[in-house]
A = this chain, B = another copy of it.
Amino acid sequence: MTFSNIMDSNSYQGDSSQAGVGPLIAARARMLGPASRLFYDRPVHLVRGQGSHLFDADGASFLDAYNNVASVGHGHPHVVDAVSQQLATLNTHTRYLHGGILDYSERLLASMPAEIDQVMYACTGSEANDLALRVAEMYTGASGVIVTADAYHGNTTAVTAISPALGAATTLGKNVRTVPAPDSYRIPRAELAARFAADVAGAVDDLRGAGFGVSALVADTIFSSDGIYPDPSVLKPAVDVVRAAGGVFIADEVQPGFARTGESMWGFTRHHVIPELITMGKPMGNGLPVAAMAARSDVLKPFAVGVPYFNTFAGNAVSMAAAAAVLDVIEGERLLLNAASVGAALRRDLAHVAAGHPRIGDIRGAGLYIGVEVVADPDTKTPDRAGARWLVNALRERRVLLSVCGAAGHVLKIRPPLVFSRSDVDWFCTEFAAVLGDF
């Protein structure tokens, strides 16, 4: 199993310093079953959050360097107020008219290229990706899908079938081909884009040979589950290959979207491509289950006309109030700019701290999506899964929360709320320096 973008632990066997959480862990195992996996060797019991900080039951504060759902900050009062007020007023579905969904759609589509002119709502990124696959298939008349080798696109049956990161327990669809992610640490930069396009071309040939045709290339434009590869040159040539074969590009913006990368609201903008379909989720409602698929109307049409798709909770008045409040905060607090400047500061300071630590092989990212590659040897660049895991748990002991990604689970994934501040950077780097001292 390569599902390494979780740092799970079901192996907790009791620990006197965790006396308070033992019963919680036991209750989870009993009632939630083996599917319920916790972060960290010593799980964290959280009771409160504010901005980029979380607090446990003892009042100890944690630095949140991981949660991209509470993207405008934990407990943001503007979001809380918007949701609370709308919930007290009206919360019903989209078979009635309501202004909220229209006002929001206007703003969302205005943040995208003019070609992207329609939007359908869902509750989760998984649902949005599941929908996008069906829309692409009806538009192209083909079923072949290309994803990166450690992609993760969600948890429904159909989306699991395009999520190789889930590992051996789930089987990729017969109509799915994988290509290596554009690993900017191991492949010379000058070769990255051509190699990625060539791999996609190989997958195209294979899908055509097998009779599936080419429906879509689906990619998270920061390749987060694969290991975070921010190079903005790689996608366009590959997308050209897919389009020449009749397929479309589905940009999975669940991770890079909503200002995360610091350069633009959407990750695909960095790559200078305009997708046919754009899916989004996690940060969209700052924790409320809100997701969407934006589309070119001509691409959407065959599905939308033919299939009576309805999603009960999607686009309801409260979801739209939450989503609108998130846009308000991104704009009002200039979080795109903050992601760019604080992200750059964090990468710079991390590089400073890591100097002289050869097992920190690479520090890369865009905005507040940062990967730190942990290797056994900087010459061979051998992934060090155990080392990454040790660092994550050591940081947790110092109350700094993050996790890992990459095929070998060897890349530290730093992805804090977008309100992360310069003082948070200092806090992070102080603790990172301390754990590197013991590494």
A49 touches B90 (CB 8 A): yes
B residues less than 8 Å from A421 (CB atoms):
none
Binding stretch for chain B, among A205-213, A303-311, A356-364, A427-435: A303-311
- Complex Cα distance, B8 from A342, in Å, reads 49
- Complex Cα distance, B156 from A133, in Å, reads 10
B residues less than 8 Å from A305 (CB atoms):
34
B residues less than 8 Å from A319 (CB atoms):
289
| Among B37, B93, B157, contact of A133 (Cβ-Cβ < 8 Å) | B157
| Among B31, B157, B281, contact of A118 (Cβ-Cβ < 8 Å) | B31
| Among B77, B97, B106, contact of A25 (Cβ-Cβ < 8 Å) | B97
| Among B98, B301, B306, contact of A33 (Cβ-Cβ < 8 Å) | B301
A39 touches B95 (CB 8 A): yes
Interface string of A110-123 (1 = CB under 8 A from B): 00000001111001
**Closest chain B CB from A24 CB (angstroms):** 5
B155 touches A311 (CB 8 A): yes
A residues 84-99 near B (Cβ < 8 Å) are 84, 87-99
**Closest chain B CB from A315 CB (angstroms):** 8
- Complex Cα distance, B3 from A306, in Å, reads 12
Given contacts A74-B90, A90-B47, A123-B124, contact A35 B304 (CB under 8 A): yes
Interface string of A58-77 (1 = CB under 8 A from B): 00000000010110001101
- Complex Cα distance, B73 from A90, in Å, reads 11
B288 touches A318 (CB 8 A): yes
B54 touches A92 (CB 8 A): yes
Given contacts A1-B308, A83-B84, A125-B312, contact A43 B297 (CB under 8 A): no
B residues less than 8 Å from A282 (CB atoms):
312
**Closest chain B CB from A397 CB (angstroms):** 15
A88 touches B95 (CB 8 A): no
B residues less than 8 Å from A133 (CB atoms):
157
| Among B6, B46, B91, contact of A98 (Cβ-Cβ < 8 Å) | B46
- Complex Cα distance, B49 from A37, in Å, reads 39
A304 touches B97 (CB 8 A): no
A304 touches B119 (CB 8 A): no
Interface string of A4-41 (1 = CB under 8 A from B): 00101000000000000100110110111111111100
**Closest chain B CB from A311 CB (angstroms):** 6
Q: How many residues of A contact B (CB 8 A)?
A: 101
B25 touches A91 (CB 8 A): no
| Among B21, B96, B300, B316, contact of A44 (Cβ-Cβ < 8 Å) | B96
B88 touches A75 (CB 8 A): yes
**Closest chain B CB from A59 CB (angstroms):** 13
| Among B6, B32, B80, B157, contact of A84 (Cβ-Cβ < 8 Å) | B80
B residues less than 8 Å from A167 (CB atoms):
308
**Closest chain B CB from A405 CB (angstroms):** 14
B124 touches A45 (CB 8 A): no
A contacts, CB < 8 Å to B: 1, 3, 6, 8, 21, 24-25, 27-28, 30-39, 43-49, 54, 67, 69-70, 74-75, 77, 79-80, 83-84, 87-99, 101-102, 105-106, 109, 117-120, 123-127, 130-131, 133-134, 155-158, 160, 166-167, 169-170, 281-282, 286-289, 295, 297, 300-301, 303-313, 316, 318-319
Contact sample, A vs B, 13 pairs, CB 8 Å cutoff: A33-B295, A34-B300, A35-B309, A37-B308, A44-B96, A69-B313, A70-B92, A91-B287, A123-B313, A126-B311, A131-B155, A158-B158, A281-B312
| 12 other A-B residue contacts (CB within 8 Å) besides A28-B101, A84-B87, A288-B288 | A31-B117, A31-B119, A32-B120, A36-B94, A37-B308, A38-B95, A45-B98, A80-B84, A83-B87, A123-B127, A127-B155, A288-B318
